[in-house]
Structure 1
């Protein structure tokens, strides 16, 4: 039995090598410089923490395609800020920039009893690009990124 296993191991290794040899290497990540201007309604404290995230607009293929795969996140303040990140192009497509302001300082984007956190989202149309500039106006109460994107469900019979 040991001799049979020893004879089949090279066959399995060869099949494994042939299966892996045909793949192209993944594309390198795209270095992105993000410039963002974040505004909010007048009653929002200018010192409040803003949670900023960038997402792949879409990830996966076919029936496994889904929106909003997180790429990177930061904490910042209202006003203008600059960030740099590597966009992993092999993992998805498109770029979404989302932010919400933590108006009450609890670290959560709204709770059942406190509903004052505000948000906004921008889909970057001209992407991929190494320079991205967006403006956000945080005015939608208690909205997560999936509230904004991909938008309303299509009307009619989908199935």
Structure 2
């Protein structure tokens, strides 16, 4: 595996590449949103921030292997607590999964978080996605709480996981 790099991306410059990646990773997108990826999904990737945070709290990155965009990740700084980073989405091209790229991305995220003096990484995993749950638990994340679907939510039951830095 070549070196993995996280390259900051923006909606204005990288939306088409992000959509192309999401279409390659349509298995997950369809599981989450119930339909094939479209530009609304990409808009959400670049703009959806957790409650109480501003757009400035959102960091979006392309996962690059040489010149290829093999994934993307968004992180919200300061959710749920000021020293937490919330991983909103880590999406990898299926052709590049099971090659250690997820682990390499997580290593880079941990390094960035420690430099930013964060103390906790958090994320939620769809209960309907056991492969993702296995990955995150294998990487040292622990169950924090169960978040059952509500009438106001998107209909997915989730596990919120945490990792102490």
TM-score (norm 2): 0.27
RCO greater where, 1 or 2, for CA within 8 Å and sep 6 or more? 1
Higher-strand-fraction structure: 1
Higher-helix-fraction structure: 2
